[in-house]
Amino acid sequence: MSAVAGLPTAWRRNPHAITRVTPRSILVSLGAGSEAIKLEGAATAVWESLDEPATELELATRLRWRAATSPAELNEAIAAAVQALAAVDAIEPADG
């Protein structure tokens, strides 16, 4: 949740992240001494879509045209990607 109780969290890329795009993945590093994180699949699409802050619902709207899955499967993939990216500090709440 966001700083305002009950509202969905808008996510943004960590501004300290350094990236390298490969044909099948994106490598994200959070600076000197940080191990690179390899993004693949839905995490790559979520990362690319966070060029501007977005909630999970906004991400689903941005990614719906690219998805070859049902809306429910897309929402699950986005939620899992957001959770994984936030767990390693690659993304952070936009209001924080």
pTM: predicted TM-score of the whole model, two decimal places: 0.82
At 51-66, the pLDDT tens digits run: 999 999 999 999 988 7
Beta bridge partner(s), residue 57: none
Q: Would you say the C-alpha torsion 53, 58, 59, 65 has a positive or negative sign?
A: negative
At 6-32, the pLDDT tens digits run: 678 999 999 999 999 998 899 999 877
Sequence-ordered alpha helix ranges (H) in 4-96:
42-49, 56-63, 71-87
Q: Hey, where are the domains in the chain?
A: 11-93
Choose between 57 and 33: higher pLDDT: 57
User: In this model, does residue 2 exceed pLDDT 50?
Assistant: no
User: What CATH code would you report for 11-93?
Assistant: 3.90.930.60
